[in-house]
Amino acid sequence: MDKYGLIGHPLGHSMSPLIHKELFAISGITDYSYELIDIAPEELRNNFDMLRGMKGFNITIPHKMSIIPFADKLGESALRYNSVNCISNNGGITTGWNTDCDGFLRSAELLPLGGKVLLIGCGGVGRMIAIEAALHGAELTVAVIPQDVKTAQLVMAEILAKCSGASVKICLISEIEGRFDLLVNATPVGMYPKCDACAVSDEVISNCSTFFDVIYNPTETLLMKKARSLGRTAVGGAAMLVYQAVKAHELWYGGEFSAEDISPIISAVENEVNRMNQK
């Protein structure tokens, strides 16, 4: 039996078992296990031998950087972000990958990532989205709260080092001006249970054509509701969550999936989130 799982700390309720169960089923794989494995930071190295016995595993907070010494090799995306959220084990050779970027790019593939992009927040996943937008040729504006300006400046410097000639500027969220092809919310503003919060003003929303919110709980944030009420396209974080898992299965055993395969899984995740919130 091939063993898979998710490591992190602390591990509360996770959508990973649901998503991976569906992906294994589509691939016709039944002889496997997928477990949630709670490992405290100070115990990670002591668990390396156990992890090497697994065919593959996902990594979440706080291990995305500390797991790197475990990997024999790093994929290009992991090197680009110095962050690993997936390990594949091929004949005892472990390779670290960053599938978060794949999840974002696949779920946002119909959005104008190469146009005028307004990114709200730049920590964690926001940093990744900022870099990907720049690599796609975006005219990027990173909007942050005052205490995050230094972080934004570091991300800007990193972008310019990776992508010479990139168009990047920084502003405060309270001082956003102009029209944008795409607004990406990479902050937790609007996340359950504080669902009545919105990262930007109604005026900013009215000046943006399409939207992507990394939040998947609730399945429709207040930002998305406001955007859709104006007839705008708005994509939530559930698709990103599922597509990063899809990439893991491609890496683990060469899994192949169509958009028709994935759409019901995204719906299943959204239904589960809504069910949990009604308890």
Residue spans of the domains in the chain: they are 2-98+239-277, 103-235
Assess whether 64 carries a catalytic annotation: yes
Torsion angles phi and psi, residue 27, rounded to 5 = -80, -5
Q: Where are the alpha helices (DSSP H) in the chain?
A: 16-26, 48-52, 76-81, 100-107, 125-135, 149-162, 202-206, 222-229, 237-253, 259-277
pTM: 0.92
Beta pairing partners, 98: none
pLDDT digit of tens for each residue in the chain (279 aa)?
A: 999 999 999 998 899 999 999 999 999 999 999 999 999 999 999 999 999 999 999 999 999 999 999 999 999 999 999 999 999 999 999 999 999 999 999 999 999 999 999 999 998 899 999 999 999 999 999 999 999 999 999 999 999 998 888 999 999 999 999 999 999 999 999 999 999 999 999 999 999 999 999 999 999 999 999 999 999 999 999 999 999 999 999 999 999 999 999 999 999 999 999 998 987
Same fold, 2-98+239-277 and 103-235: yes
Structure tokens at 77: 């995306």
CATH number attached to the domain at 103-235: 3.40.50.720
d(CA 39, CA 254): 28
Of residues 64, 116, 226, 247, which has the active-site annotation? 64
CATH number attached to the domain at 2-98+239-277: 3.40.50.10860
